[in-house]
Structure 1
Amino acid sequence: MFFIEELKEYDLILASRSPRRRQLLADCGLEFSLAGDYEVVEEYPRDLPVDEVAAFLSRLKSEAYPEPLGGKDILITADTVVIADGRILGKPAGRETALDMLRSLSGRSHSVITGVTLRNGSRSRTFDSRTKVFFKQLSDEEIDYYVDRYRPYDKAGAYGIQEWIGYVAIERIEGSFYNVMGLPVQKLLTELEVFIELKEK
């Protein structure tokens, strides 16, 4: 059986407030429900290597899910981080932080890592996807225009690749475009297929 059809036998639960992740999962043709809001303290050990943070936080979100999961449930949690100069750029606290972040990315490359955890009542599987993004040199006017018009305060690194800045600033990427949006859908589908193949006989 084609695994997309086989997935219809499972209850996919997306635990994410991100409208972009919801859109990407829906665009894959998958049927899923949304988890209700629940609290997660997104903290990680300070000695954890920065390239392992996204996977760690995706597991943390999965483990914090308050509802019991059965064998036919698959909970999907994810976290995306932007890394520049060995440090994580989170969601900006306000306009000045967003401006500073974009200035630090201008004319340089940075990494975007999304960690994803799949879990049901008996097992879990965590993976990540990594993309390198190359920005052209941006003028202060371009940065001001983007921040003031698009207000990217809910986005790691203070930008969305699918928005205006993606058209004018990004020279090239190495890796998954959709990973930069917040969900590496091609790898997710591959991992979902592996996950259901590992089901208990």
Structure 2
Amino acid sequence: MIQRMLRLLARTILLLVLLAMPASLWAHGGGTPQLTDVTAGPYRLFAWTNPEPWRVGEVHLTVAVTLPTAEGSAVPVSDAQVQVTLQPLAGQQAETLILAGREQGGAGAGFYEADADLPAAGPWEVEIQVSGPDGSGDARFTIEAQTATTLNWTSIGAIVLVASVILALVATRRRQSTRQA
């Protein structure tokens, strides 16, 4: 019985550690589509943003760069240079952010990532510039950034999880004591 409780406690601690990991570690790859098969010079771009909605603080952008083939399919481009420019709109008093996209390795060939610490809420123009052996091009989209969240959902989830484990342990002990009586 004690070993079972220790295993449950170990699993709970592992889950809490995973929940406490920074959002940037969970964000890589995927997200909300912002560009889908958009022409940028000779290339086709796809872009996803995280979190949804964008908020003041850490934000993430994943860009896929492909090159159309004569057969009508597309191949990932793994030797491109990708630059992301975040420009505040509507008279915001925030500076322009310029980020270099980092290519994912292995199975992520053709995918580039950029992280930024967004300083202000409001509309932002995101420009993605790509250059490579086949030429260069750019694409843009506008995204609205919300104010920073005031609730730490990871902490709230951890508290609820710990409380649930404690309640389960108490209920198990009560059942055992009524069986023994």
TM-score calculated relative to the size of structure 1: 0.27
Structure showing greater Rg: 2
- Greater percentage in helix: 1
